[in-house]
Amino acid sequence: MKIVLIGIQGAGKSTQGSMLSEKYNIPYLSSGHIFREMAKEKTKLGRWLKELLNSGALVPDDTTLEVVLTYLKKPEYKDGFVLDGFPRTVAQAEAFNGSIDHVIYIDVSDKEALWRISGRVAEREDETLSAIRKRISLFHGVTTPVIEYYRQKGKLRSVDGEVSIEKVSDAIIAAIEA
């Protein structure tokens, strides 16, 4: 089973992704986590990614596609995965149009997302207020068309992300198993 989670930063994608990974016994992969790990490397690419992420900008499509598609070729992903943070643009969705079984949009308001992120204990270096605001703006400008793209393909299921973690999880599982 191949599941894609879409939602604004702070929507709970990693929480739900981890829960789905456990329930369906498939690996969870976050493109943001991959890029943050790469940004720690003392390489030209690592330094560039760190600067990019800390500014709140998106990693360009060509780099994102190369990195994520290379990861998904690993044997542990052949039987399925839960993917978070990709595809983030229509160009990525079109290039990735392969075999995705479910696209789940965790719908959370900007206000709720900001409240959740500001309440996190261990702040990441890329979670400054200006970076978060830029990412929220980019989500609306760049990722909202991806939601429409999958809606038109009949693959999208929306769930209310502003209820309890358990209720979000139940709604996602119901959407998958419907």
Q: Domains of the chain, with CATH numbers?
A: 2-177 (3.40.50.300)
Separation CA 89–CA 85 (nearest Å): 10
Number of residues that this document lists for the chain: 178
Tell me the pLDDT tens digit for each residue of 63-102: 999 888 888 889 999 999 999 989 989 999 998 876 789 9
Separation CA 5–CA 178 (nearest Å): 17
Predicted pLDDT at 53: 82
Query: Which run of H or of E encompasses 2?
Result: strand 2-6
- Say which DSSP state 153 is in: T
Has residue 122 got a pLDDT over 60?
Answer: no
Q: What is the pTM of this model?
A: 0.85
User: Residues of the chain with pLDDT > 90: what percent?
Assistant: 54
Separation CA 105–CA 151 (nearest Å): 10
Tell me the pLDDT tens digit for each residue of 44-70: 989 999 888 888 778 888 999 988 888
